[in-house]
Amino acid sequence: MALDLVSIAQPHYIPGYTGHCPEYKYRIGDTYGSTTHKILLDPSVNHSERLVLSDRTADDFQIYRPPQTDIDVVNARFRNGDPVYKHPMIPGYEGFLPRLNAHFGQRYTVSATEALSEFQKSQLNSRAARNQLERVVDLQIGKGQPWDLVDRFSATAEFKLPLVVVRPECAGILRDLPMDEPKLAPPTHSTSPYFMENSHPDKYIVKGYSGHVPYGFQRFGESSKKLTNSALCDFSSNYRRRQSTEWAPVNVVK
């Protein structure tokens, strides 16, 4: 009887298991084993039909990485004249690989092949779109014959390519037209508050600054802005006074 009170009914996750348990963070007030036991038997919880340590050798579904389509795309790129990228990519290659930073959780060869395939497909799509645009331009100016219904509609479209500028005042947004822009004034925050004029509204130190504030040790009972402004004004005044008297060059008259 005492053993039944101590033991936890099956199924349950062993205490100390750090993997994912669905909806565990929403259950409070019970031990880990009892909570996971209730979760595994709760029909309203979306959990896997298999246990964590189930036998998966009988599965008839298996994913091969990288797919054969990606391998074919990379090899086709190599045959078209790219002497650098070829499947399989040897681990340890330190050169640039496009789209590699977006792939995680796989071996280097798998990630490199999938990244190269994705990049090559993007290049082919961009090239096809550019060729289609050039064909539309040729059809609209009378070069070539339409092949299908889409080409006929493109040749008789209301808007002709290349598009002409109808608003000259917006020509500045075009990248191929140089525009004279006014020079930007230096930002006001580039001047140190130590050397601003005493009447300057920004002559204070931002709240939260934990460095040394000259002449600020003897001031109390004020807000940070007023206190640092008063301290900096005293510092600037003393600095300019000593600069004009003590630090002035000495002229020796004989």
Q: Which residues contact 215 (CB under 8 A, 6 or more apart)?
A: 231, 232, 234, 235, 238
> Rounded to an integer, what distance in angstroms lies between the CA atom of residue 141 and that of residue 49?
63
CA 198, 202, 206, 210 dihedral sign is negative
pLDDT digits (tens, 9 = 90+) for 151-167: 777 777 767 777 666 66
Residue from 243, 210, 214 nearest 228 by CA: 214
**pTM metric for this prediction:** 0.40
Task: Give the pLDDT of residue 1.
Answer: 46
Task: Provide the mean pLDDT of the chain.
Answer: 78
Q: Which two tokens stand for residue 241?
A: 């006074």
Task: Give the pLDDT of residue 95.
Answer: 77
Task: Give the pLDDT of residue 199.
Answer: 86
Q: Are 234 and 215 in contact (CB under 8 A)?
A: yes
> Rounded to an integer, what distance in angstroms lies between the CA atom of residue 80 and that of residue 177?
36
Residues written for the chain: 254
Peptide bond into 66 cis (omega under 30): yes
Q: Which residues of the chain have pLDDT under 50?
A: 1-3
AA letter at 69: T
Query: How far, CA to CA in Å, does 180 sit from each of 166, 172, 176, 183, 184?
Result: 21, 9, 13, 9, 12
Task: Give the pLDDT of residue 50.
Answer: 67
> Rounded to an integer, what distance in angstroms lies between the CA atom of residue 227 and that of residue 12?
63
Task: Give the pLDDT of residue 124.
Answer: 86
